[in-house]
Amino acid sequence: MKKIVKTEIEKLLIAGNVRDVLVYDCIESTNDCALNTGATVFARTQTKGRGRNGRSFFSGEGGLYFSIALFFEENQIRLGSGALIPFSAGRLTVSAGIAVAKALNLFGIDAKIKWVNDIYVAGKKVCGILAERRGDIAAIGIGINLNSSIPDDLASKAASLNAPIDPNVLAASVINGFFHELASPDIEFANANCITLGKTVECEKGIGVAVGIDADGALLILIGDQTERLYYGEVRFLSA
């Protein structure tokens, strides 16, 4: 199975989007390293892989773990092209989810987005995304179960793609795609490929039916006769 190699990934990335690229065999968390250094960071394993809401993220051999660093100028993000885009947390996460799903589609994998930003294949989670900010740096951390051995206690919910995909090509496709989406997120794609839509869900706003994703990446939930916008947080499926 191929591994992430600094010179290979650097060749595949569109110039200017990322600053330094760091590749580790093992690190605590690529998000911490990206937030501390401003580099885009890859690791073959993580000892303290972090998920959303204080959860840990399984980060064993065979997975693809990386964090893309972004730089704020006041409340805008400077893209490699030099363009400044307004910051919105929803836009960051929706762009990352779209980029991962589209990259997997390129390899013939029917990947779906579970709002806010988990990626599912055949009903199981294959990828998690965690966006964090520290000062003027944000890290978009992406963990893909590419050829991982999923522990028994996670196997009912998570799966590995187990596909002969070069991680350098997949990661470059995600990162290049992410910067493209960030400038102009393909919300139509997100709506067409989101498994949350049409489901009865429970969230901090109450119980309702998820009906769409808006231009800011917010989930639209019909609660009674009101459409509520959920910008972040978890949703729990109450219907299959």
Q: Going residue by residue from 8 to 47, which x/- string records binding to ligand BTN, judged by CB under 6 A?
A: ---------------------xxx--------------x-
List phi, psi (to 5°) of 118. -100, 150
Q: How far is the CB of 2 from ligand BTN (least distance, A)?
A: 19
Q: How far is the CB of 169 from ligand BTN (least distance, A)?
A: 18
Q: How far is the CB of 49 from ligand BTN (least distance, A)?
A: 4
Q: Is 170 in the site for ligand BTN (CB under 6 A)?
A: no
Q: Which contiguous run of DSSP H or E holds residue 12?
A: helix 6-12
As to burial, measured by CB atoms within 10 angstroms (0-12 exposed, 13-18 middle, 19+ buried), residue 12 is: middle
Contact residue for ligand BTN among 143, 185, 208, 217 (CB under 6 A): 143
Q: How far is the CB of 163 from ligand BTN (least distance, A)?
A: 18
Q: Which residue is nearest to ligand BTN (CB)?
A: 128
β 219-223/206-213 pair status:
antiparallel
CB–CB of 145/161 below 8 Å? yes
Long-range contacts of 227-234 (CB under 8 A, 24+ apart): 230/203, 230/204, 230/205, 231/89, 231/90, 232/89, 232/90, 232/93, 232/116, 233/116, 233/203, 233/204, 234/52, 234/53, 234/116, 234/203
Q: Going residue by residue from 91 to 130, which x/- string records binding to ligand BTN, judged by CB under 6 A?
A: ---------------------------x---------xxx
Q: Is 145 in the site for ligand BTN (CB under 6 A)?
A: no
Q: Going residue by residue from 65 to 94, which x/- string records binding to ligand BTN, judged by CB under 6 A?
A: xxx---------------------------
Q: Is 55 in the site for ligand BTN (CB under 6 A)?
A: yes
Rg (CA), the chain: 17
> What is the rounded CA–CA span in Å between residue 27 and residue 141?
13
Contact residues: ligand BTN, CB under 6 A: 29-31, 46, 49-52, 55, 57, 65-67, 118, 128-130, 141-143
